[in-house]
Amino acid sequence: MSLNPCPSNFPAYSNSVRSEAIPALSYLVLARKWRPQTFQDLIGQEHVCRTLQNAIESGRVAHAFLFTGARGVGKTSAARILAKALQCENGPVQEPCNACPACLEITSGNSVDVIEIDGASNTGVEDIRELRENIKYLPSRCRFKIFIIDEVHMLSTSAFNALLKTLEEPPPHVKFIFATTEPHKVPITILSRCQRFDFKRIPLPKIVDLLRTIVAEEKVAVSEASLTAIARKGDGSMRDSLSTLDQVLAFCGNGVEDDEVIALLGVVDRRLLLETSRAVFARDCQAALDIVARVDSFGYNMRSFCQELIDHFRNFVVLKVLANPAELLDLAEGELADIREQATAGTLDQLQRYLSILLKAEAEMSLSGFTRLILEMALLKMCTLLPVVPVDELIERLKALEGGGGQKLASPSVAPRAPQATVPATTRTLETPEKTPPAADPSSSTPTPSQEGWPGFVAFVNSEKISLGKILEHGRPLQFSAKDVEIGFPAGSFHLSCLQDAETLASLTELAARFCKATPAVRLTSLNGEHKGLPSTVQEKKSLEADGRQRKLEEAARKHPLVTAAVEIFEAEITEVVALERDAGAKEEID
């Protein structure tokens, strides 16, 4: 489907008519010259055209229509075409002839029976009252008196109220056609009295096809890449695309170069996006940083470029998941081919992670002034992102290891937990059980031979009065015998102040007498300066013993065959070994 220029199709725009009505040096812009004049020419709105044509053929033409949609998608053009189809001397017909006086008058905007009203400048109730007065009179020459109100949402509330009764029960010779870009601002009472038609954004390939036809008719050489850039600048609007093409032709003349078009429109060169994705897939950090430098030198907005990258990688994702992605991708055929070529370099999981990084970077750009730095870090992270290993593949590897790998898996009590999700092959924390020593019987108050000395005394006190025993764990046994017990604490420490209480000291003396089976003198000493050369506290000994156990635990874990196999399968490294707490009666061992 393609449009023909008005000069060859419509006498109203013929060279002879234009020479009389338009000054010799005036220029008819492409948006007017190539305005649709039949339903067939209305590109991208086939659903609207078919409904209106069927209504005309069956004689079920409503008295009021509401055309809604974005700017430049054909709402006003469709209203004029519908008016011509209803007023045509050969009709009403599904397609206007564009040759009879009625069609020519509507095309030129001179019909007395088709009144176009600008809702933005005729917003008051007085304007609507005048319209209601005109409705009473029969059409002068045609079948109907048709009122086309553009931007109808701009009418005031009182104007809408004045229109309600007439709109609900108009005379049989009156038709209303409303057009608006903001239907949510139209009162529901008006909406309920109209047949509503929603006009879609025109797909980019269809805009490119029309632009290709126009430049061929205009005898101008424009590359496919430039036509695609012009169509994308229109953002689904045919009028905006034609206006942009007019601007390009005025700037470049008959020889349109791609670089000139990119510079004039201020859009991101699609080749730059393809280079960026190529660098990411190739894990080329240098190339990625060079691209950011080029973006900066071109004067592109970093956040806008990041948004273009998000849309670019979204195209890869759509291409991966759909067999026929052209319906969801706003791309020309050449661009789609380039995307297909690169899409094989990345998996769906990788592409989704790339999108997550870019979305986070774009959000950070809105809050920071370091947009270039944020984009550079995002691209570097994408280039250095480690691949992921799917969960099902990990499970299969473990099954293969268990079945034929020649390694014995640990018992269920120490077997590694199954992966919970897709796990990136990065550092992991491996947990290994620690042997649990048998718990001491707190009811025993008689010291055993292994409890002799200061550690035995502290254990004895812990079994009798745990709060006092915990304080003693931080003391240094300067003297410890059946006759003399001297305990040192740092000067001004909390533990020293607690034991200096008379009642607490008496309790400590009584426990020392029971432990030593004698009557030792208990003294507290305040220590100043370094403690080098002094006996160690029980707490320090516990820390040293724990460090020793941890070293043995890590050594055993790193040499464990299951752990070794897991590191090899997951391509990971051990960063931490954590002891698992087990029940005292459970069997704890590392095979």
Q: How far apart are CA 182 and CA 152, in angstroms?
A: 9
Residue 39 lies in a domain: no
Q: Give the mean pLDDT of 64-85.
A: 92
CATH of the domain at 356: 1.20.272.10
Contact 161, 191 (CB under 8 A): no
Q: Give the mean pLDDT of 205-219.
A: 89
pLDDT tens digits along 447-472: 433 346 888 888 899 898 888 888 88
Residue 359 lies in a domain: yes
Sorting pLDDT into bands at 50, 70 and 90, what band is 429?
A: very low
Q: Is residue 97 domain-shared with residue 194, that is, in the same domain? A: yes
Sequence-ordered list of residues with C-beta below 8 angstroms from that of 92, at least 6 positions apart, any chain: 56, 61, 85, 86, 143
Contact 430, 574 (CB under 8 A): yes
Q: How far apart are CA 293 and CA 377, in angstroms?
A: 13
Would you state the pLDDT for residue 390? 67
Q: Is residue 525 domain-shared with residue 575, that is, in the same domain? A: no
Contacts 24+ apart (CB under 8 A), 508-517: 508/461, 508/468, 508/472, 511/460, 511/461, 511/464, 511/465, 511/468, 512/457, 512/485, 514/445, 515/447, 515/456, 515/457, 515/460, 515/461, 516/481, 516/482, 516/485, 517/482
Residue 461 lies in a domain: no
Sorting pLDDT into bands at 50, 70 and 90, what band is 582?
A: low
Residue 527 has pLDDT above 90, yes or no: no
Q: Is residue 279 domain-shared with residue 359, that is, in the same domain? A: yes
Return the amino acid letter for 587. K
Within 282-370, where are the H helices?
Answer: 285-298, 302-321, 333-343, 348-365
Q: Is residue 165 domain-shared with residue 259, that is, in the same domain? A: no
Q: Is residue 394 domain-shared with residue 435, that is, in the same domain? A: yes
Q: Is residue 77 domain-shared with residue 170, that is, in the same domain? A: yes
End residue of a domain, out of 356, 385, 414: 385
Would you state the pLDDT for residue 233? 86
Of 23-32, 376-385, 518-527, the one with minimum mean pLDDT is 23-32
Residue 3 lies in a domain: no
Sorting pLDDT into bands at 50, 70 and 90, what band is 8?
A: very low
Q: Is residue 590 domain-shared with residue 441, that is, in the same domain? A: yes
pLDDT tens digits along 224-267: 888 888 888 888 889 999 998 988 888 877 777 787 887 788 77
| Paired tokens of 421 | 């999700």
How many Å separate Cα 213 from the centre of its chain? 37
Element (H, E) at 563: helix 561-570
pLDDT tens digits along 123-159: 778 878 888 888 888 888 888 999 998 889 988 888 8
Higher pLDDT, 99 or 441: 99
Would you state the pLDDT for residue 467? 85
Sequence-ordered list of residues with C-beta below 8 angstroms from that of 75, at least 6 positions apart, any chain: 67, 68, 69, 150, 179, 180, 199
Residue 433 lies in a domain: yes
**CA nearest to 5, candidates 45, 47, 33:** 33
Q: What is the mean pLDDT of the chain?
A: 80
Phi/psi at 271 (5° precision): -65, -30
Residue 21 lies in a domain: no
Cβ atoms within 10 Å, residue 576: 10
Would you state the pLDDT for residue 379? 94
Q: What 3-state class would DSSP assign to 172? A: coil
Residue 349 lies in a domain: yes
Q: How far apart are CA 266 and CA 261, in angstroms?
A: 8
Q: Is residue 129 domain-shared with residue 183, that is, in the same domain? A: yes
| Paired tokens of 380 | 């570097």
Residue 485 has pLDDT above 80, yes or no: yes
Residue 190 has pLDDT above 50, yes or no: yes
Contact 12, 107 (CB under 8 A): yes
Alpha carbon distances (Å) from 116 to 85, 106, 128, 145, 491: 16, 10, 13, 11, 97
Sorting pLDDT into bands at 50, 70 and 90, what band is 431?
A: very low
pTM of the model: 0.57
**CA nearest to 277, candidates 298, 291, 258, 294:** 291
End residue of a domain, out of 518, 535, 552: 535
CATH of the domain at 92: 3.40.50.300
Q: Is residue 451 domain-shared with residue 541, that is, in the same domain? A: yes
Alpha carbon distances (Å) from 377 to 24, 289, 298, 309, 365: 58, 9, 20, 14, 12
Contact 521, 483 (CB under 8 A): yes
pLDDT tens digits along 288-317: 999 999 888 888 889 989 999 999 999 899
Q: Is residue 322 domain-shared with residue 229, that is, in the same domain? A: no
**88: containing domain:** 44-198
pLDDT tens digits along 384-417: 987 766 677 777 777 777 765 444 444 433 334 3
Would you state the pLDDT for residue 84? 92
Would you state the pLDDT for residue 275? 92
Q: Give the mean pLDDT of 541-561.
A: 83
CATH of the domain at 256: 1.10.8.60
Contact 182, 65 (CB under 8 A): no
Q: How many domains does the chain have?
A: 5
The percent of residues in the chain predicted with pLDDT above 70, rounded, is 85
Residue 9 lies in a domain: no
Q: How far apart are CA 161 and CA 288, in angstroms?
A: 60
Q: Across 422-508, where does the E strand assignment appear?
A: 423-424, 428-433, 476-480, 484-490
Would you state the pLDDT for residue 25? 53
DSSP letter at 6 equals H
End-to-end Cα distance, the chain: 76
Following CA atoms 328, 334, 335, 341 in sequence, which dihedral angle do they give, to the nearest 10 degrees? 100
Sorting pLDDT into bands at 50, 70 and 90, what band is 590?
A: very low
Q: Is residue 568 domain-shared with residue 420, that is, in the same domain? A: yes
Q: How far apart are CA 147 and CA 176, in angstroms?
A: 5
End residue of a domain, out of 494, 511, 535: 535
Would you state the pLDDT for residue 433? 41
Which range has highest mean pLDDT (53-57, 250-254, 269-273, 438-442)? Answer: 53-57
Of 41-45, 62-66, 342-346, 374-378, the one with minimum mean pLDDT is 342-346
Q: Is residue 92 domain-shared with residue 150, that is, in the same domain? A: yes
**CA nearest to 68, candidates 185, 243, 193, 204:** 185
Residue 171 has pLDDT above 80, yes or no: yes
